[in-house]
Amino acid sequence: MPHTYTYLFCDLRTDTVLAELPLREVKFSTELNGIGALSAMVPYNADTIPLDPDIATRQARTALYVDRDGVIVWAGIVWTRDLVPGGKAIQAADFMSYYQHRTVRTTLATDPTLITNSAYVPDGQLLYPDQRYLVWSLLRYANVQPYGDIGISVGYLASEPGTGINRMASYFGYERPLVYDAVAALAASDDGFDFGIETYWTQPANNDPPARVKRARVWYPRRGRQSAAESGLVFSSGGPEPSILDYDWPENGTEVATDVTALGGGTGEARLKSSAQATDMLSAGYPLLEKVTTYTDVLEQPRLDGTARADLAAASQADTQPSFDVAADADPVVGSYSVGDVALFVIAPDERTPAGRQDELRILSIETTITDSGGERVALKCGAV
């Protein structure tokens, strides 16, 4: 089934449409708790040159929205461009990448003894302790700085119920920590959350046309549907209309750890340390496999303890990283699943897997490639539930 893709290039700060341009060699990805990327080529021809593609695609100043059949399926910021025969290659990253370019310039903390202005952010320096509102505090702080608002709405974070998980956190202005790194570190803590920027069209109302919306989200405890029974998603390599076209199910123990030590701030013997051990794996027969992680900006022991437990959970599942090439229009069709969803993956017996295999896996990444003929190829990267 052919699908219609539209590519809107907009001014990053005002969201004013600069041009609608055709793209070739398009590939874009969505990542769970990461930053999705897009690469494409803007052709130079009689149709595009009058639209001034050089102005419409300026790096660090342009937002790009990818619309598929009236649904925004990817959005982000053009960061780099390269000259290529017949046009210009562009590389973009989703809107969360903006916060990789924003820093905390004034000390912010949940502990009022570390700050001079005890009013809550953004009027003061005090951070809300619940992890959802802590993220709101950081993004709100970034948005209210002069010229710092690119239209990412953070109000939805404040309107949702708290997670019930309080964090101790401090970000010292003289260190200029990145806002994105601060959010990602909180998310990766034990009993953390998933995060990202949602983009979509509003519904037309009162004769107003649809408008583009981009808003920050925190999902707690996790994003997506958490079992195959809940999602109803089944990808299969068998049957008359298989949804799995190809797969790779590597088994790699090099990143597995049964004991993790997280190092925090400080020096020498005074440096903060926290260890976590997978006693269930050790009892089941695994040997002691040690890993050390470093977080020099973490100065609170409870936060470091949670980080060590989270690192252990990730390291104990590091050998489950299968990937699948799936058909865009076979059931489950593109758009019926998202990163964070859990699906059942069924491999029919074949020469690589003679006995067949099936497992529930969590979708961590979705990468879409659009061929110049209009076809779609979709690649999924998955992990343990």
pLDDT tens digits, residue range 322-356? Answer: 999 999 999 999 999 999 999 999 999 999 999 99
- Mean pLDDT across the chain: 95
Angle at CA 250, nearest 5°, toward 249 and 251?
Answer: 120
DSSP calls for 158-196: HHSPP-S-B---EE-GGG--BHHHHHHHHHTSTT--EEE
303 pLDDT more than 90: no
Question: How would residue 7 be classed by pLDDT, with cut points 50, 70 and 90?
Answer: very high
More confident of the two residues 326 and 318? 326
* pLDDT for the residue 1: 66
Lowest mean pLDDT among 7-11, 203-207, 224-228: 203-207
Query: In this structure, what are the phi and psi dihedrals at residue 224, rounded to the nearest 5 degrees?
Result: 90, 180
Lowest mean pLDDT among 7-11, 153-157, 201-205: 201-205
More confident of the two residues 204 and 134? 134
* pLDDT for the residue 373: 75
374 pLDDT more than 80: no
User: Which amino acid, one-letter code, is at 260?
Assistant: V
Q: What percent of the chain has pLDDT over 70?
A: 100
The 10s digit of each residue's pLDDT in 227-276 is 999 999 999 999 889 999 999 999 889 999 999 999 999 999 999 999 99
Query: In this structure, what are the phi and psi dihedrals at residue 23, rounded to the nearest 5 degrees?
Result: -130, 150
User: Which DSSP state fits 228?
Assistant: H
**Neighbouring residues of 40: CB distance < 8 A, sequence distance ≥ 6:** 7, 23, 24, 25, 26, 27, 89, 90
Helix axes 179-187, 131-144, angle to 10 degrees: 170
Q: Which residues pair with 368 in a beta bridge?
A: 28, 378
Question: How would residue 289 be classed by pLDDT, with cut points 50, 70 and 90?
Answer: very high
Q: With contact defined as beta carbons under 8 Å apart, do 385 and 364 qualify?
A: no
The 10s digit of each residue's pLDDT in 99-146 is 999 999 999 999 999 999 999 999 999 999 999 999 999 999 999 999
